[in-house]
Structure 1
């Protein structure tokens, strides 16, 4: 009886070992095939490494390595101006740090337009492009679009005033578009778009070319400037616009006809005939 039990036990152990061996071979073959398929299959989306911010950063903050992380990003949708290496983003963090120019949300790529150049501060000068100058325009609740302006917006600038026309010295009042699509870089003393909360500004600062600075200065000193906000997705350029009161009301200018009437000159001489004085007509010499 014991011998039979021992034989059955040995046969059972043998069958169990054989089953385990077969299962192990099957799993190994499956894993090898899966690994081989993964190696031969090309990735569906090609990616590159670039840096994004880990947490929200605000205007003026110092950008440090602890604020960013490198992630995989689809290669065909990499934004222009991103950083793909730490040496490019932080060339010399100790002596030439970068500062944030535009608020960024977590996961947003760090771009060159959103941070300063190494060693530059986050002041107004960092927002002025090469060849441009900053110019301040006085505004009020009406000319400043009721406080809806923000740094980074674009505006059209209109001039309203009067000029003398011709020798008649007649004043003509009109409004004319003098600059189109001008970039706003600051509202009052704030260059941070998030820091302007719908307040009525007294001045706005625009970035324009030197020739435009002269035109705006002359316009501001001879009339009144008004701003018109351009839509964020609007890439059209406004054409020359000029409106006066007559064109606004649809009136036509009256032509004054002046008739010159030349009076005939009569020349006379007086002569006395006895007690009577008589006037006699004679030809005029002139």
Structure 2
């Protein structure tokens, strides 16, 4: 009887220990899962509703509501100029620009957008505008056309959106000079092409640049009085360019020899006689 009681006691203690072990293991797993969920919640980034395109959109296409959809986007990685799907509250100013204003006017695509790409302000026109050159002009700027050929137009490798330096070659004060007259002018169009996504070289006859009214005046005067050449500025190049003016002598390394005429100093004298001797005495000149 004592032996049976002892066996029952041992088995009971063993079962109790096993149950305690299993309970502790389950509790530890639960604590770990709760800690993981808390960590995940802390690392989660708030999301915002952003418009993206559902298909590839080409230059000149009109953007409609059927071409876009709304997705959740991490608010710390939203591209600058992206259109958010903010609710319009009557009597309040909308937060940010509206992709589809209440007036019903649609925007036009200015640059190619790939499928699932966010719609950006820089890639579409203002509501109701087409994709012409005027839609790309910033406030206070004007469009001006420059005549070019295969040599002055960088062999046809210019594209809308590029930036160029403009050099003038002509006669100045009796000598042939080449001078930098403007820097980093933005190209709006090459011939009649304003699509900056075209990569094939085009031998253009004209390029259209964006310039201020004073720059337009300088370019017009330069174009009528000499020859213009364009120099392509590298992408992302923000270096300041110093004034450039080169003539033929500088190009060939010839230095002008200045003839310095030495003025003969004028001396004024008076003559006096001392006995039989005549003496000249210097005096200050009156004229």
TM-score computed with the length of structure 1 as normaliser: 0.72
- Structure-2 residue corresponding to 1:188: 191
Give the whole-Å Cα distance in 1 for the aligned partners of 2:221 and 2:191. 21
Counterpart of 2:99 in structure 1 is: 89
Q: Is the 8 A contact 1:190 1:196 kept in 2?
A: no
Distance in 2 separating the partners of 1:239 and 1:66: 51
Structure 2 unaligned segments of length 5 or more: list them.
1-25, 89-97, 264-287
Report the count of equivalent residues. Answer: 227
CA shift digits 1:37-74 (9 cap, x unpaired): 64783244343321122211111100012222222333
Question: Within the alignment, does 1:53 sit opposite 2:53 as a pair?
Answer: yes
Q: Kindly provide the CA deviation profile for residues 115-164 of structure 1, in whole angstroms up to 9, marking residues without a partner as x.
A: 01111111111011110000000000000000100000000001011122
Q: Residue 241 of structure 1: which of 228, 239, 244 is its match?
A: 244
| Selected match of 1:127 from 126, 133, 136 | 136
Match of 1:221 in 2: 224
Alignment pair present for 1:80 and 2:89: no
Q: Secondary structure at the match of 2:237?
A: coil
Displacement after TM superposition at 1:107 (Å): 2.4
Q: Partner residue of 1:139?
A: 148
Gaps of 5+ in 1: 1-26, 165-170, 261-286
User: Aligned partners of 1:196, 1:209: CA distance in 2, in Å?
Assistant: 28
RMSD between aligned alpha carbons?
2.8
Write the mapping of 1:61-210 to structure 2, written as runs, cut at 5 A.
61-85=61-85, 88-92=98-102, 95-164=104-173, 171-195=174-198, 197-210=200-213
* Cα-to-partner distance string for 1:69-120 (whole Å, 9 max, x where unaligned): 2223332232211111166111147x41111011111222211111011111
Moved more, 100-109 or 38-47: 38-47
**4+ long deviations beyond 3 Å:** 30-40, 43-47, 256-260
The 1:221/1:96 distance shift into structure 2, 3 A limit, reads same
Say if 1:56 and 1:206 are closer, same or farther in 2 by CA, change over 3 A: same
- Cα distance between partner residues in 2 of 1:176 and 1:77: 45
Q: Which entry has the higher C-alpha Rg, 1 or 2?
A: 1
Residue in structure 2 matched with residue 42 of structure 1 by the alignment: 42
**CA drift at 1:197:** 2.4
TM-score, with structure 2 as normaliser: 0.71
